[in-house]
């Protein structure tokens, strides 16, 4: 691994995350203040606080990202599309939605493709970035590859490893599998359990373009400490 990034370059990989059900306005202000200070790519939040975070980040290039069908993915396609549309109308710059894992387990690939196509089409029309959350901890390698094949056809902006709310998060093995399966057609985001600089750099070395983490500040500070 031979990655030479400045703290500013590393920060641009991060979707700085606050998805807890009990988050307060003070938590969102802290999240946005940190994103502004460090120059993170995005704040990752649930749809309800999109308006608040959009206001808090006004005048910055930090995106506001809304999680849709989160964290279980057990909503209808119409519900996910409505939720994404509502978030976009409220100012969301990016949408991270969770696939319907039941439909994937039942090999209803047409359903999965329509779900992905409908959400991605909405985002594309609104010039909003789309990310498809796999939740790999519940999937076989065959299921992950099937999702990657669908993504290669539909072309969301990103495929993503995890919600961070499942039984496991991002693994090096999953990222390698996803990257190998989609190549350069779709970018890969790693999320869930990324808490150290070493892990972040290994993921970047494997080809991820974004990292979702609640530990973004600590990871960037860890790099700063190594440089000094």
Known catalytic membership, residue 86? no
DSSP 68-87: ESTTT--S-HHHHHHHHHHH
Identify which of 140, 125, 129 has the alpha carbon closest to the alpha carbon of residue 97: 129
What single DSSP character describes residue 137?
Answer: G
CB count in 10 Å sphere of residue 75: 18
| Per annotation, catalytic residue among 131, 160, 174, 179 | 160
Quick check: 120 and 130 in contact, CB under 8 A? yes
Helix (H, G, I), strand (E, B) or coil at 183: coil
Known catalytic membership, residue 189? yes
126/201 Cα distance (integer angstroms): 32
Known catalytic membership, residue 96? yes
What's the CA angle centered on 111, arms 66 and 102, to 5 degrees? 75
| Per annotation, catalytic residue among 96, 100, 157, 174 | 96
192/209 Cα distance (integer angstroms): 15
Annotated catalytic residues are 96, 160, 189
């Amino acid at each position: 691994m031979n990655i030479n990034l400045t703290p500013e370059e590393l920060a641009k990989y991060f979707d700085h995350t606050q998805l807890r059900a009990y988050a307060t306005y003070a938590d969102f202000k802290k999240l946005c203040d940190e994103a502004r200070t460090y120059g993170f790519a995005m704040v990752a939040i649930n749809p309800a606080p999109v308006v608040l975070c959009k206001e808090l980040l006004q005048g910055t290039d930090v995106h506001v990202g809304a999680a849709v069908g989160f964290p279980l993915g057990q909503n209808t396609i119409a519900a996910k599309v409505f939720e994404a549309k509502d978030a976009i109308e409220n100012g969301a710059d990016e949408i991270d939605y969770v696939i319907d894992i039941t439909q994937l387990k039942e090999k209803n690939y047409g359903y999965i493709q329509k779900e992905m196509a409908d959400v991605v089409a909405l985002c594309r029309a609104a010039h909003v970035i789309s990310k498809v959350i796999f939740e790999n901890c519940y999937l076989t390698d065959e299921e992950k590859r099937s999702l990657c094949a669908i993504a290669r056809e539909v072309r969301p902006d990103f495929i993503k490893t995890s919600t961070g709310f499942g039984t496991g998060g991002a693994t090096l093995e999953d990222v390698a599998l996803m990257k190998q399966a989609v190549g350069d057609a779709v970018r890969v985001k790693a999320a869930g359990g990324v808490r150290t600089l070493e892990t972040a750099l290994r993921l970047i070395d494997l080809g991820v373009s974004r990292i979702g983490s609640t530990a973004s500040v600590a990871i960037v500070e860890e790099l700063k400490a190594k440089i000094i």
